[in-house]
């Protein structure tokens, strides 16, 4: 009868398992859908007081760390893979792009944001996140979008991206679409196969690729 106890204990360990790794009760697809982060035991106690014990007053005998795993909201396959890759880290990407674009000589400009991405809704979200990130840096930001005439567009759309963006930047300055007090941060997806975003800066008619 002892084997009944042993099997019961083994089953109990499966039922109460908290390890997010794939195993008998968690498929690889489920494990892949988790977002995990390592945090300190102190932070884990503050976030989950009923689950993670606080450090003892004289310290713990072993160093404890916690790994917090959460299931992603959008399961794989629910949206286009490229969109999912961009959107799943949008806040970090926007902050990173703004960090690259910050320059002391442009601190008093009014910032405009332009995005070029294959999907319209995703493009709008990238612009939203970028504008918010700029405002959080204390910069003056406008919802205005500089426009070009039909003739300019006809020429520029026949150029490759490496020539088109500098040309558009020049025309913004020449046609008055952007004034001397404006700076434009363009967030661009150059290749529909890539999951990174490039950034370019347009100020005073000069274009500069940032990344």
Partner 1 sequence: MKRLFLALFLALFVVLAMGQAPPVWGATPVEQAQQAELDRVRAAVADQVQLTAYDLIDELVYGWVTEPVFPASTPVVLAGVTVPVGLGTGLQALVENHVAAVLAENPTTNIQLAHCPACTATVVQSGPEVTIVSRGLDNPNVLAEIGSATGRHALFLDIEAEGAWLVLRARITRLTPDLPIVWSHTIASSASTPPLLRQPGDLKSATQARAEYLDALRDRGPIAIPARFVIRTYAAPGDQGGVPPPPFLWLQTGVELGANESLAWTSSIVVGYSFIPQAYQGLMAQARISRLMTGRTRSHLRPDLYGFFGVSAISVWGAATGSFRTEKINADEILMDSVGDGPRTTFGAIQLGLDLRLGNRIGLAVFLETMPNLSDSRNLGDYIAVGTIGFQAIGTEVGVCF
**Binding residues for partner 1 (CB under 8 A):** 1-2, 4-5, 16, 34-35, 49-51, 53, 70-75, 77-79, 83, 87-91, 110, 119-122, 124-125, 128-129, 131-132, 135-136, 140-145, 149-150
> Minimum distance between the CB of residue 179 and partner 1, rounded to whole angstroms?
10
> Minimum distance between the CB of residue 50 and partner 1, rounded to whole angstroms?
3
> Minimum distance between the CB of residue 93 and partner 1, rounded to whole angstroms?
10
Residues in the chain: 211
86 closest CA partner among 181, 196, 178: 196
> Minimum distance between the CB of residue 163 and partner 1, rounded to whole angstroms?
25
Cβ contact 139:111 at 8 Å: yes
Looking only at the bridges linking them, the beta strands covering 110-116 and 182-188 are: parallel
Instruction: Compare residues 101 and 166 and give the one whose CB is closer to partner 1.
Output: 101
> Minimum distance between the CB of residue 69 and partner 1, rounded to whole angstroms?
8
* Residues 126, 136: Cα–Cα separation, whole Å: 15
Could you tell me which residues are beta bridge partners of residue 111?
A: 141, 183
Question: Rounded to the nearest 5 degrees, what angle is found at the Cα of 23, between the Cα atoms of 22 and 26?
Answer: 65
Cβ contact 203:184 at 8 Å: yes
Instruction: Compare residues 71 and 204 and give the one whose CB is closer to partner 1.
Output: 71
Instruction: Compare residues 35 and 191 and give the one whose CB is closer to partner 1.
Output: 35
Instruction: Compare residues 71 and 108 and give the one whose CB is closer to partner 1.
Output: 71
Instruction: Compare residues 22 and 149 and give the one whose CB is closer to partner 1.
Output: 149
Tell me phi and psi for residue 91, to 5 degrees.
-60, -45
């Amino acid at each position: 009868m002892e084997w009944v106890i042993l099997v019961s204990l083994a089953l109990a360990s499966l039922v109460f398992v908290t390890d997010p790794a794939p195993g008998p009760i968690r498929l690889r697809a489920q494990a892949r859908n988790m977002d995990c982060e390592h945090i300190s035991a102190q932070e884990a106690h503050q976030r989950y007081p009923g689950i993670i014990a606080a450090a003892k007053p004289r310290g713990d005998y072993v160093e404890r760390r916690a790994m917090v795993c959460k299931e992603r909201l959008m399961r794989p396959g629910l949206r286009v893979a490229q969109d999912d890759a961009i959107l799943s880290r949008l806040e970090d990407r926007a902050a990173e792009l703004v960090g690259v674009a910050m320059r002391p000589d442009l601190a008093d400009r009014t910032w405009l944001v332009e995005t070029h991405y294959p999907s319209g809704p995703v493009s709008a979200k990238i612009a939203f996140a970028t504008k918010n990130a700029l405002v959080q840096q204390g910069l003056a930001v406008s919802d205005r979008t500089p426009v070009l005439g039909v003739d300019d567009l006809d020429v520029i759309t026949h150029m490759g991206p490496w020539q088109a963006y500098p040309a558009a930047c020049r025309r913004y300055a020449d046609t008055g679409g952007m004034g001397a007090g404006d700076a434009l941060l363009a967030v661009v997806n150059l290749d529909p196969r890539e999951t990174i975003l490039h950034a370019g800066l347009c100020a005073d008619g000069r274009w500069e690729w940032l990344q």
